[in-house]
């Protein structure tokens, strides 16, 4: 099968969507398919800036949200233009966002729309749209149009599938996120070079937050929980790998609590180096929260941590509740509950054997249920159904 994966976002980029695409591509190729990716990064840089970045940036200064919608629509148009020249090369298209879905559907090629989240709600959560504004309602219509016109729709967790059903009366297939389990071999990673590159000291307890610094990821809560942890375990370092609008808020918390010696902000980290950071960590924190109707899907960061041999503490929201069995292969904590989070961290630091048991069970679960090859086979079946459905029309 010749498969094209499309998105209006950059590829590769920081975040779970990019990881999903690269891991799916690898799985499909290992199963014998030809896979290409068409993203915003493939568009001429001058066109990107002139047509799909500058106008929206300027207009957003006047009316928040309007510029965001203009930019996304312009990205769709540029993607459509590029698709026109290559569309005859593929059997099926797998879009990764609603704007790319609508562009892909226009080619007439069977399009499978993968839905990673709640497009409108997430834009509100990160401050790009104003809730119930004209632009927000327009984005919701664009979502509905994409779901209804796609040959098949895939949701990455049950709650997103329910959202799609409510939004468009379309029944989505559920294929949860996945990782290349074989790529996560902590015993084979040169952790010394990672320590040296990022200035990570020896003999400290490492708490690792591998998340984009955005509100729904709950990234401020580890910093808020850290003072209580330091009372019991003063030799503890909290590390963040990611960028986003919550950076200043975290810096404010660090300053207020005099935590500068115990928090390290690594910024954007290449995915291949993330494996070393997971391997170094005593605990990985995925403290997601509900935010403007958005809840975490089947977090790729959480799955990667589960595959890396480190115990995970996660917020008890969304797809995270579907991944973890509390106290068996991870610890689930009430969202936004700082005491609950700090107590969970202390519990693992007090009892490393308990943390080791969680990590062993988590690794076994990922191998059983979240393999990229298993997911690629499921997508292959969906693609085949989409092609058949399109042929009947």
Q: By three-state DSSP, how is residue 69 classified?
A: helix
214 and 263 share one domain: yes
Residues 162 and 191 in one domain: no
pLDDT of residue 185: 74
Q: Are 101 and 146 in contact (CB under 8 A)?
A: yes
Sign of CA pseudo-dihedral 24, 25, 30, 35? positive
Q: State whether 300 and 228 are in the same domain.
A: yes
pLDDT of residue 62: 65
Q: Supply the pLDDT for residue 253.
A: 97
Q: Same domain, yes or no, for 19 and 126?
A: yes
Query: pLDDT value at position 298?
Result: 73
Q: Does residue 327 share a domain with residue 361?
A: yes
Sign of CA dihedral 290, 284, 205, 342: positive
Residues 159 and 193 in one domain: no
What is the rounded CA–CA span in Å between residue 228 and residue 343? 8
Q: Of 83, 69, 96, which is closest to residue 9 (Cα–Cα)?
A: 96
- Strands 173-174 and 152-155, by their bridges, are parallel
Same structural domain for residues 362 and 378? no
15-to-204, 230, 281, 381 alpha-carbon distances in Å: 27, 30, 20, 26
Same domain, 206 and 156: no
Structure tokens at 23: 């891991």
156 & 262 share domain = no
Could you read off the pLDDT tens digit of each residue along the chain, which spans 393 residues? 999 999 999 998 767 788 899 999 999 999 999 999 999 999 988 888 887 777 767 776 667 778 788 889 999 999 999 999 898 899 999 999 999 999 999 999 999 999 998 888 777 777 778 887 888 889 899 999 999 999 999 999 888 999 999 999 999 999 998 999 888 776 667 778 888 888 999 889 999 999 989 888 999 999 999 999 999 999 999 999 999 999 999 999 999 999 999 999 999 998 878 888 998 999 999 999 987 666 776 788 899 999 988 999 999 998 898 899 999 999 999 999 999 999 999 999 999 999 999 999 999 999 888 999 999 999 999 999 999 988 876
Among 37, 127, 115, 121, CA closest to 79: 37
CATH code where residue 322 lies: 3.40.50.2000
> Any bridge partners for residue 93, and if so which?
4, 111
Query: Which residue range forms the structural domain that includes residue 60?
Result: 2-178+371-392
Question: What pLDDT shows up at residue 142?
Answer: 94
Tell whether 338 and 284 lie within a shared domain.
yes
Both tokens of residue 171? 């029944």
* Same domain (yes/no): 169, 291: no
Within this chain, do residues 343 and 210 fall inside the same structural domain, yes or no? yes
**At which residue do the structure tokens 């975490």 appear?**
296
Contact between 250 and 220 (Cβ < 8 Å): yes
**pTM, whole model, 2 decimals?**
0.77
Closest CA to 111 of 100, 97, 95, 124: 95
Please give the tally of structural domains in the chain. Answer: 2
Find the angle CA(240)-CA(246)-CA(247) to the nearest 5 degrees.
55
């Amino acid at each position: 099968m010749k498969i094209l994966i499309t998105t209006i976002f950059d590829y590769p980029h920081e975040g779970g969507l990019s990881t999903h695409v690269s891991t799916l591509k690898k799985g499909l190729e290992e199963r014998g398919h030809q896979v290409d990716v068409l993203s915003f990064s493939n568009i001429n840089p001058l066109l990107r800036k002139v047509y799909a970045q500058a106008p929206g940036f300027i207009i957003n200064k006047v009316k928040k949200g309007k510029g965001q919608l203009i930019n996304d629509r312009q990205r769709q148009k540029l993607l459509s233009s590029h698709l026109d020249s290559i569309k005859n090369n593929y059997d099926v298209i797998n879009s990764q966002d609603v704007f790319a879905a609508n562009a892909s559907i226009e080619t007439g090629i069977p399009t499978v729309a993968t839905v990673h989240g709640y497009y409108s709600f997430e834009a509100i959560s990160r401050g790009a749209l104003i809730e119930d504004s004209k632009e927000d309602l327009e984005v919701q219509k664009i979502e509905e149009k994409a779901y209804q016109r796609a040959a098949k729709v895939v949701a990455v967790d049950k709650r997103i599938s329910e959202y799609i059903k409510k939004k468009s009366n379309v029944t989505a297939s559920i294929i949860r996120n996945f990782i290349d389990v074989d790529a996560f071999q902590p015993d084979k990673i040169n952790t010394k070079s990672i320590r040296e590159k990022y200035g990570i000291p020896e003999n400290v307890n490492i708490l690792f937050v591998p998340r984009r610094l955005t509100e729904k990821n709950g990234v401020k809560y580890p910093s808020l929980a850290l003072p209580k942890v330091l009372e019991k375990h003063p030799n503890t370092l909290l590390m963040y790998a990611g960028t986003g609008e919550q950076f200043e808020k975290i810096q404010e918390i660090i300053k207020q609590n005099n935590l500068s010696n115990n928090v390290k902000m690594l910024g954007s980290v290449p995915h291949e180096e993330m494996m070393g950071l997971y391997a170094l960590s005593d605990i990985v924190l995925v403290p997601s929260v509900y935010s403007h109707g958005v809840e975490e899907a089947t977090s790729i960061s959480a799955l990667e941590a589960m595959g890396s041999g480190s115990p995970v503490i996660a917020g008890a929201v969304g797809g995270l509740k579907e991944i973890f069995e509390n106290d068996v292969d991870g610890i689930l904590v009430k969202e936004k509950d700082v005491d609950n989070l700090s107590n969970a961290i202390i519990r693992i630091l007090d009892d490393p054997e308990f943390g080791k048991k969680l990590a062993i069970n988590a690794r076994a679960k990922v191998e059983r249920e979240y393999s990229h090859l298993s997911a690629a086979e499921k997508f292959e079946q969906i693609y085949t159904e989409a092609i058949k459905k399109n042929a009947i029309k």
